[in-house]
Amino acid sequence: MAKAKQVHSFKADVDAYFDRAAELTTYPKGLLEQIRTCNLVLHIAFPLPSKRGYEVIHAWRAEHSHHKMPVKGGIRYSPLVNEDEVIALASLMTYKCAIVDVPFGGAKGGVKIDPRRYTEGELQRITRRFTTELAKKKFLDPAVDVPAPDVGTGAREMGWIYDTYNTLNPGMMDVEGVVTGKPISIGGIHGRTEATGQGVVFAAREACNVREDMRARGMTKGLPGKRVVVQGLGNVGYHAAKLFHEADAKVIAIAEYEGAIFNKDGLDPVKVAEHRKETGSILDYPEAEPYEGPPLEIDCDILVPAAIESVIHKENAANIRAKVVIEAANGPVTREADEILREKNVLVVPDIYANAGGVTVSYFEWLKNLSHVRFGRMTQKHEEAMLHTLVESIERKTGKYFTPEERKMIMRGADELTLVISGLDQTMMESYAAIRETMLATEGVPDLRTAAFILAIDKIARNYLELGIFP
């Protein structure tokens, strides 16, 4: 009898990364097991009536850690969703929040559907029913569990979640804080849509600004001029590609499920996305040529897998020609592939840091919702008045005058978007420095991923110890 093919386990990879890092710490075994274990998993099944008849929809919500409250994590709509994946993603959220100093525990949700197969009305019914089930089981509350967008969901679905929860909880003062990634009109925050992609580019910038790490891979310091390949033109991939382009890196290839396009002189991601919206495909984009080979194996400086997990595995890892891999998706590199890439001297910037921009800005949105005031509202005009006084003083004392354009730029007070981007930038910069410092300071740490897990374990363990839960 033929041996059944073993299915790759995303959760097993995450647990193995954790175990490798845990061995390099001195915390008690029981404490480490508590940090690693998923606390709660809810599996929901409900019927969807449609013209096609009745269909049973399966969905999950995992709350990995309650060492900080509320727990936080996206909800994805994908036919690949399963319990193993949801638990793995929830655990990554726990570690991710710790690394970037966001005071949340980790969670994740998933609905096992292909959203492209359903009408908007059907998607709304699925979302509202899932929201109701989560609320009934106490898996949804501004102080307990706060979802966000993920693969296959966006501001529209988050708006439906907010509206459903608001209907179920009339008069709740902090109801806007029940979900993040909402439309601006119902408590969303400027910069959330592009936050994960923006964080990916900040992560790449920090990695490329370490001269010795770049020199070790035959590259110069900095992002400008770097050849970038982006796999996935969804929300994260699109904004990452767009921002790499604006940072003067060359996006030489973009891949989607229909194929890949290539231009050695660089692509404009905005034009590519507009063309795909008009035609339904990137393949006939006039300023590029279709790429026939595996797009992940294109010769480049920076490879950005921004779609789904496990796209770089033991069968193709040896063929990766990138010098740096930025994990924009969750778990795009399997454990076996990770070891191969390390042997090839490829610098892998891990997902638990690289794609933390989304949860960081979600934290800002949650704070905005609880404080009931837009960031910058009480400070912007005051800052502008102070800067106006400063500019006039400089002009009087020097006799040199700024142009109207220069005055406008200098005297502009920080609005919400400016503050959000600034806060995200600072977070990604400080977190990368802490990860790299951990890697250099801890004996036996082979890479940034292990260092990131050690950093997360240390922060979570200290929280438990300070609470007096463990002796």
pLDDT, tens digit (0-9, with 9 covering 90-100), for 194-217: 999 999 999 999 999 999 999 999
Q: What is the CATH number of the domain that holds 201?
A: 3.40.50.720
Residues 104 and 126 in one domain: yes
- The mean-pLDDT minimum among 6-20, 27-41, 124-138, 367-381 falls in 367-381
- Asked if residue 406 is part of any domain, the answer here is no
319-366 confidence digits (pLDDT tens): 999 999 999 999 999 999 999 999 999 999 999 999 999 999 999 999
- Asked if residue 394 is part of any domain, the answer here is no
275-306 confidence digits (pLDDT tens): 999 999 999 899 989 898 899 999 999 999 99
Residues 281 and 423 in one domain: yes
- Asked if residue 343 is part of any domain, the answer here is yes
Kindly indicate the confidence band of residue 378, based on its pLDDT and cuts at 50, 70 and 90: low
Q: Is 240 within 8 Å of 197 (Cβ atoms)?
A: yes
361-370 confidence digits (pLDDT tens): 999 999 999 9
Closest CA relative to residue 272, chosen from 251, 257, 303, 295: 251
53-63 and 105-111: which strand pairing?
Answer: antiparallel
Residues 110 and 134 in one domain: yes
449-467 confidence digits (pLDDT tens): 999 999 999 999 999 888 7
- Asked if residue 364 is part of any domain, the answer here is yes
> Would you call 108 a catalytic residue per the annotation?
yes
Q: Is 411 within 8 Å of 383 (Cβ atoms)?
A: no
Domain boundary (186, 218, 248) is at 186
- Asked if residue 409 is part of any domain, the answer here is no
Taking 50 as the threshold, does the pLDDT of residue 433 lie above it?
A: yes
Taking 60 as the threshold, does the pLDDT of residue 102 lie above it?
A: yes
Q: How would you write the chain as a 3-class SS string?
A: CCCCCCCCCHHHHHHHHHHHHHCCCCCCHHHHHHHHCCCEEEEEEEEEEECCEEEEEEEEEEECCCCCCCEEEEEEECCCCCHHHHHHHHHHHHHHHHHCCCCCEEEEEEECCCHHHCCHHHHHHHHHHHHHHHHHCCCCECCCEEEEECCCCCHHHHHHHHHHHHHHCCCCCCHHHHCCCCCHHHCCCCCCCCHHHHHHHHHHHHHHCCHHHHHCCCCCCCCCCCEEEEECCCHHHHHHHHHHHHCCCEEEEEEECCEEEECCCCCCHHHHHHHHHHHCCCCCCCCCEEECCCHHHCCCCEEEECCCCCCECCCCHHHCCCCEEECCCCCCECHHHHHHHHHCCCEEECHHHHCCHHHHHHHHHHHHHHHCCCCCCCCHHHHHHHHHHHHHHHHHHHCCCCCHHHHHHHCCCCCHHHHHHHHHHHHHHHHHHHHHHHHHHCCCCCCHHHHHHHHHHHHHHHHHHHHCCCC
Residues 169 and 268 in one domain: no
Q: How many CA atoms lie within 13 A of 36 on its CB side?
A: 22
Residues 313 and 336 in one domain: yes
Q: Is 317 within 8 Å of 336 (Cβ atoms)?
A: yes
Domain extent at residue 311: 191-379+414-438+446-471
- Asked if residue 333 is part of any domain, the answer here is yes
Residues 178 and 209 in one domain: no
Q: What is the pLDDT of residue 1?
A: 44
Q: Is 453 within 8 Å of 352 (Cβ atoms)?
A: yes
**What is the side-by-side order of every strand in the sheet holding 302-305?**
289-291, 259-262, 250-256, 227-231, 302-305, 324-326, 347-349
Number of domains the chain contains = 2
Residues 322 and 424 in one domain: yes
Q: What is the pLDDT of residue 13?
A: 92
- Candidate list 11, 68, 108, 112, residue with the active-site label: 108
Report how far apart the first and last C-alpha atoms of the chain are (Å, whole number).
52
- Asked if residue 294 is part of any domain, the answer here is yes
Q: What is the CATH number of the domain that holds 57?
A: 3.40.50.10860
Domain boundary (118, 153, 186) is at 186
401 or 5, higher pLDDT: 401
Evaluated on CA atoms 308, 425, 320, 335, the torsion sign reads: negative
Residues 336 and 253 in one domain: yes
22 or 403, higher pLDDT: 22
Average pLDDT across the chain, whole number: 92
Q: What is the pLDDT of residue 310?
A: 87
Listed in sequence order, the residues at least 6 apart from 226 whose beta carbon sits closer than 8 Å to its beta carbon are 208, 219, 249, 250, 301, 302
Q: What is the pLDDT of residue 429?
A: 97
Residues 375 and 280 in one domain: yes
- Asked if residue 393 is part of any domain, the answer here is no
Residues 373 and 279 in one domain: yes
Taking 90 as the threshold, does the pLDDT of residue 471 lie above it?
A: no
Domain boundary (186, 203, 235) is at 186
> Which residue type, as a one-letter code, is found at position 356?
A
Q: What is the rounded CA–CA span in Å between residue 435 and residue 441?
A: 10
Taking 50 as the threshold, does the pLDDT of residue 251 lie above it?
A: yes
Residues 204 and 102 in one domain: no
Cα dihedral 73/348/326/253 (nearest 10): -140
Above pLDDT 70, what percent of the chain?
Answer: 95
Provide the whole-model pTM.
0.89
- The mean-pLDDT minimum among 76-90, 113-127, 360-374 falls in 360-374
Residues 219 and 173 in one domain: no
